[in-house]
Structure 1
Amino acid sequence: MLFRHILPILFSLSLMLGNSIIDRYTDASLSIISKALSDSTAYNRLSYLCDTFGPRLSGSKNLENAINWILKEMKKDGLV
């Protein structure tokens, strides 16, 4: 019976907290979307990753090579 009274409160709290998270990241997400739609760099990198390194199973040389390439690209972009 107690659960029946608490459920609406929990639901309301989740809605309020959810909106604050959305509001906090709206500008950043819109910026990422805008850049992704106006620049093909991400798709070019994805294509290179898939075409160059092939299957990347856990512990495989392809996976290690792909990770090293990704880290190199991230360093060039100033992300690491």
Structure 2
Amino acid sequence: MAAKAEPGKSGQSEGLGSRLSQIKQFITEVRQEFGKVVWPGKKQAIMSTTVVVILVILVAIYLGTVDLVLGKIVGAILR
């Protein structure tokens, strides 16, 4: 079964001017989207960061404990 060629994807490279206009359009659209972003305030950013740091510490303690216990169990079995 022969595959149909998609428009604009004929395997030929597009001209440099076309690529530059696409890049310019992309940058313009990115700037527009950044204008729509609602950035968190300082207080909210600090609170979110605090929550993340605390959760990372708790998960690290949990995983360290599990690793220690399982290591001792495996060590006792292998003796």
| TM-score band, normalised by shorter chain | 0.3 to 0.5
Q: Which of the two has greater helix per residue?
A: 1
TM-score, normalization: structure 1?
A: 0.39
Higher alpha-carbon Rg? 2
Structure with the larger RCO, 1 or 2 (CA within 8 Å, 6+ apart) = 1
